[in-house]
Structure 1
Amino acid sequence: MRKLSDLILLVVGVLYPFIVYFGMDHVSTPLFGLILGALWLVRAPALMRQPGGRWMLGITLVYCAVLAFGGEEHLLRWYPSLICALLLAAFGLSLKFGPPMIERIARVTEPDLPPVAVRYTRRVTWVWVAFFALNGTVSGLLAAWGPLSWWTFYNGILAYSVMGVLFIGEWILRQRLRRRINKAPMDGAATRLASHPWVAAAAGGYAGKVGPGMVVALSPSGRTALLRHGRAGVVNELGQHAAGDDPLSTPMAWRFVEQLPEPGETDALLRAPLPTVATVTSERREDDSYVLELVLPLDLACFAEHFPDAPVLPGVMQIGWALDFAATRLGTPRTCRAIDALKFQRLLRPGDTLRLTLRHDAARGRLHFAYAVGDAPASSAQLRLETAHA
């Protein structure tokens, strides 16, 4: 439902000038306001979770209410200017408080943006700030004093044409920048990284379409930095050090490991996705229990988001791993219907060595799990399984 409403709101936004131009004689202004407000209300749950979403939703709903209860036709023309003002505020404030809006968008697909790309996304954000300011001003002037036909032509055709030119131009510049980065050799970057106190060893390679990459074995101080600053902080620091005087010699992909792979395996490691599960180093049966020794990879995928500045293994993932490991070792179901006596006693961080103890009570249909770091308990619970297995 939300995706459908997002699509409808996008289509309405694009066609809005023409809807106003051709619909003013057939649809009343209050009805315009009610329909527009309803679409924004459907999007409300998603907007409430986004930075700045509350005030964006509030302002647009006030505007829709003014349309619905005021009924002034000329107010319909101010919707494009309102949206431009909201986008101008969102992009502009992101430049002040960070990270810039374009950087946030870019990190969705490329979490490990190098410093040169971060600077590029900041400049692109400034371009869009300028566009929204200019576009909103022109749209507002036409809404206040221009003929309806001029307002429709500008907001429905000319403004989107300019946006298209900006999108295409930015894409061309981005591809040129990517090609220049991809041609930069990584040998020099690896040599420079070796002198950084956070790095025990480094090897450069290529991560396919992503571009050049770096596999880094972190030193003890580097592992501490990873715990304190998160993956993004370490990547930013090491990226600047790797580039030296040449900002293009910055790795686009990063892997943090306990020790470097064999020389011929570096590229394969860089192309592989980040690990999503702990590494099993040994496993054994102990009486009625099954014990696994695990190591949390330094670049476990979930650490990038949970949390960016202080990576911690999510509790839900600990439960999921227990179910998955038990399913393959003990033949139990992969799902549970309830959780009893759940305890989280210690944070699990990148590089931790864990002991996972599993005990299946087939008669009661329960799976008990317990994680520990050395002798210190980390988490435990009793899971009521969907079905009992003998």
Structure 2
Amino acid sequence: MEMDDGIELMPDGRFRLLGRLDRVVKIEEKRLSLPEMEARLALHHWVEAAAVVPLSGRRQTLGAALVLNAEGKARLAAEGRRSIAQALQRHLADHFEAVLLPRHWRFTDRLPATDRGKISYATVVALFVPASAPPLLPGVTGVTHERDSLGQQVILDLHVSPKIAHFAGHFAGAALVPGVVQVDWAVHFARQYLPLEGAFSALENLKFLGVMVPDAKLQLSLAWDAQRKRLDFSYANPIRKFSVGRVVFGAAQ
């Protein structure tokens, strides 16, 4: 059996996903080899080196970090970032569908590297995060996939950063994660880790059982029933459950 993901087998028979070994991502249901796009960018006569990374948000997009050669730097100084980015997008458009083209661009003197001299892709991602922008999503510190006869399940270890933007302006004097945000997070991560299909239709069995506060460490359990097109979710830690619910999906719009 061939696999594209690195995994760690756990004692109970489940496995922890370590990440794709071949750096293949899916954008808007389209598969893309990131090394292939990097190689195409490196063929451009302005580019010395390139790193392409997926960026999380309301929709997953791509960011391209580039080291320009002397000619590229001269054009950047003369024409500006937007013009250079548009020219590079046109260069890629000959080989990739429009939905796969990078939407965010960074130009740097060198690509960040690990101690072994390889590109540090985690540090590349950080190039696209404005220092002043609070995050919208909790950090994912672990991923465990499970499969059963009805569908697929995933358990995410989450850290709810105190800096998350949703804490601002809600419930004066008591920072907590609003219920609607918890549902939004569940759907967001389900679309990222499970083969979720269809458009939102309804909420069922929604219960808020505890208060989710800044710096919380918890697990989000997601179970997708493809036949019934429904997603069950729950947030919990070893002491309590915070919320449970079901999101029902209809035909894609």
> What TM bracket, shorter-length normalisation?
0.3 to 0.5
Question: Which is strand-richer, 1 or 2?
Answer: 2
State which structure, 1 or 2, has the greater radius of gyration over its C-alpha atoms. Answer: 1
Answer 1 or 2: which has greater helix percent.
1
